[in-house]
Amino acid sequence: MAAGAGVLLVNLLVLSVNRGIGYGAAILLLSSIGLLIITLKRDTTPLTTNDRLFIGALIVFPVAVAISMLLHGDWVWSSIDKPLRFLLVVPAFLVIRHFGMSRNILFIGAIGGAIAAGSLGYYQKYVIGLNVANGFTHKIPFGDISLMLGMFSLAALIPGKNWKAPLWLSVLAVLGFGFGLLGSLCSGTRGGWIALPLLFWLILSTAITSRKLRWGLFSGFVVLLLLIYSNNSLVQSKVDRAVTTTQSYFAEGKIEGSAGTRLEMWKGALTIFAENPWIGVGKEQYSTAAERLKAEGRFKTDIYDHPHNDMFNLLAELGVIGGLALLLLYGLLIRFFVHWRHVDPQLACMGLLLCFGYVDFSLTQAMFEHNISTSFLAINVAVIGGMLSHCYQQSRTTPGSG
């Protein structure tokens, strides 16, 4: 169906084509709304509590932003554009929940997108000589999404219920994983590298029951990361500089490099939050508030649009409302995938990869301040959630399925 084509294009084009995610997103949105209208009267399957909590997770963030803007009396449509993407994917979740979707569509899109991202990253970094690869967006979303596409590719090797990857797809999955890592390495994005061991362990713990084999493969993966560190000058310099600048910040108060700058921005954001705890300073007003702190001598670094951390950014802009919204978003999504992990471990694992990956990414970057990273999360979590809910409905109607 058209919705499947949209999902395929979202992951296939997200990093390799300028504004490529928009083509797939538009097809998915329009087809989902059309199909939802057609099936609304015929779909008599009631939403489960888990479904309702999932939908609640998707709408809580845009609702929090809307409440904040109303309280501040400063409604600006451009400020709610990115949060609304979580609301706009609800029809996709409901349609895929009803019809289901071939997981080959999900995997082929992810694998193709990872190979394209890794190839583009290598070309930009080592062929035309850019300092770091960034595709057609900022280097951090490029590196983090490339990494996530690589992990999605590897998840294709997890046996699903009544599904096993054919040999050709298994080979492509390993290639996709490698190219996804390559794109991340070429971007020089350190935030995603921190999540790598956790994400790899999530896949191993889902795919392999043998404890010895699981730990053996995990140990081998850690050795691989150490080899990459010791033999890649870009990775080595990035990691070493982060450690030394962090030490300098806490020991001597020096603000050096991106790590020191981030620590100072986080301190500034928490200061803004402490002065405006309930409703913050308003959506996209972090820079203005930071400029004031700098003029008062309480902020000692360059001013950016956000403090490079989703939680601190939302606390500063929306206050407690924003912090609670972010906790509910990830908390309810994680609950959804854990609760139905027994239904289809593969799909549940992919959902958890997204959630834990983004929690890590958002520690050093405000992922919700970028169109591409917001859309990628919203669309994929709705698609995977819809597929998992459909599997649950199928298990309930299958004879002898408990």
pLDDT value, residue 97: 94
Higher per-residue confidence, 292 vs 191: 292
Helix (H, G, I), strand (E, B) or coil at 195: helix
Q: What is the mean pLDDT of residues 83-112?
A: 94
Contacts of 252-261 spanning 24+ positions with Cβ under 8 A = 255/300, 255/301, 260/301, 261/301, 261/302
Q: At CA 171, angle to CA 169 and CA 175, rounded to 5? A: 110
Higher per-residue confidence, 169 vs 258: 169
What are the counts of helices (DSSP H) followed by strands (DSSP E) for the chain?
17, 0
Q: What is the mean pLDDT of residues 379-389?
A: 97
Q: Among 30-39, 59-68, 203-212, name the most confident range.
A: 59-68
Q: Given pLDDT bands bounded at 50, 70 and 90, which one contains residue 251? A: confident
Non-local CB neighbours of 215 within 8 Å, separated by 6+ positions? none
Q: Given pLDDT bands bounded at 50, 70 and 90, which one contains residue 43? A: low
Helix (H, G, I), strand (E, B) or coil at 45: coil
Per-residue exposure over 275-297, b if at least 16 CB sit within 10 Å of its own CB, e if not: ebeebbbbbbbbeebbeebeeee
Q: Which two tokens stand for residue 306?
A: 């956000």
**What whole-number percentage of the chain has pLDDT above 70?**
97
3-state per-residue secondary structure call for 8-44: HHHHHHCCCCCCHHHHHHHHHHHHHHHHHHHHCCCCC
Q: What is the mean pLDDT of residues 76-89?
A: 90
Q: Given pLDDT bands bounded at 50, 70 and 90, which one contains residue 105? A: very high
66/84 Cα distance (integer angstroms): 10
172/107 Cα distance (integer angstroms): 10
66/72 Cα distance (integer angstroms): 10
Does 121 have pLDDT greater than 50? yes
pLDDT value, residue 402: 37
How many residues belong to the chain?
402
DSSP class of residue 281 equals S
Question: Is the pTM higher than 0.85?
Answer: yes
Please, are residues 284 and 238 in contact by the beta-carbon 8 Å criterion? Answer: no
User: Closest Cα partner for 117 from 97, 103, 137, 99?
Assistant: 137
Please, are residues 168 and 326 in contact by the beta-carbon 8 Å criterion? Answer: no
Q: Given pLDDT bands bounded at 50, 70 and 90, which one contains residue 401? A: very low
Helices in 40-126 by DSSP H: which ranges?
49-72, 77-88, 90-99, 103-122
**132-148 confidence digits (pLDDT tens):** 899 999 999 999 999 99
Q: What is the mean pLDDT of residues 15-42?
A: 89
Q: Given pLDDT bands bounded at 50, 70 and 90, which one contains residue 293? A: confident
